[in-house]
Structure formats: C-alpha cells, structure tokens
C-alpha cells in the first residue's frame, strides 16, 4: 500500500507569517509519535505568493484520519498552549491529498 501525502495549503497574510511559524514551532513533536506518521515539513513562500504549504506523509489514509480525529482535533479544540481562543493566522485553507507512486532519495555509498 503506497504512502499518502496531505498538503494543507494555507493563505497567510504577511503580518501573520511570524505568528503562524511560532505556533507550528510551539507544537514541534506533536505529530511525530502518531501511528503511521512518516514526515512533516512547513514550507514558507519565498516570493510571489502568500501561501504556506504544510506537508505531511502517512503510511495510510486510515492513519491520517485517526490523527485528524484524535490528537489533531484535541489540539485545535485546546487552541494551543498559550491562548485558548487564538485567531487563526491563516485566512484560508485547502487540503490536497496524494498517493506516493514513485520516490527517490540520495544514492548511498
């Protein structure tokens, strides 16, 4: 069964970028212990867009859904550690889903 990739596309106004990055940094380690989790990256736009990409890779769709319904849901209901009712840093969000059909890494040796 191929891994699945979820890319959350976040529209983040320039004045909210630092807020978004600090919130992700404060949650570092929150997803890594989840069953089926394989990879995470927060991608900051370099030029020409206000869109951040949140890339996660999972062993299966079921593992992703279990995380969404468990730890992810609980974290969003708490609103983070420093403020229970924080305003979202992103002004829009879209979730893209993919299956990994081919991958490569650096050659060893």
In this prediction, residue 76 carries a pLDDT of 60
Handedness of CA 24, 30, 34, 40 (dihedral sign): positive
From first CA to last CA, the distance across the chain in angstroms is 28
Q: Where are the domains of the chain?
A: 1-54
Contact indicator for 60, 36 with CB cutoff of 8 Å: yes
Report the mean per-residue pLDDT for the chain. Answer: 87
Please tell me the pTM assigned to this model.
Answer: 0.81
**Distance between CA atoms of residues 3 and 61, nearest Å:** 8
For domain 1-54, give the fold: Alpha-Beta Plaits (3.30.70)
In this prediction, residue 2 carries a pLDDT of 86
**Distance between CA atoms of residues 48 and 14, nearest Å:** 12
In this prediction, residue 16 carries a pLDDT of 93
Exposure of 33 by Cβ count < 10 A (0-12 exposed, 13-18 middle, 19+ buried)? exposed
**Distance between CA atoms of residues 74 and 84, nearest Å:** 12
Q: What is the mean pLDDT of residues 13-37?
A: 91
């Amino acid at each position: 069964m191929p891994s699945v990739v979820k890319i959350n596309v976040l529209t983040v106004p320039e004045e909210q970028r630092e807020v978004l990055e600090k919130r992700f940094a404060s949650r570092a380690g929150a997803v890594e212990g989840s069953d089926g989790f394989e990879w995470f990256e927060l991608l900051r736009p370099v030029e020409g867009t206000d869109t951040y990409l949140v890339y996660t890779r999972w062993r299966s769709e079921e593992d992703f859904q279990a995380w969404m319904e468990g730890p992810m849901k609980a974290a969003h209901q708490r609103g983070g550690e420093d403020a229970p009712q924080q305003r979202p840093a992103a002004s829009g969000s879209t979730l893209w889903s993919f299956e990994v059909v081919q991958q490569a890494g650096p050659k060893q040796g």
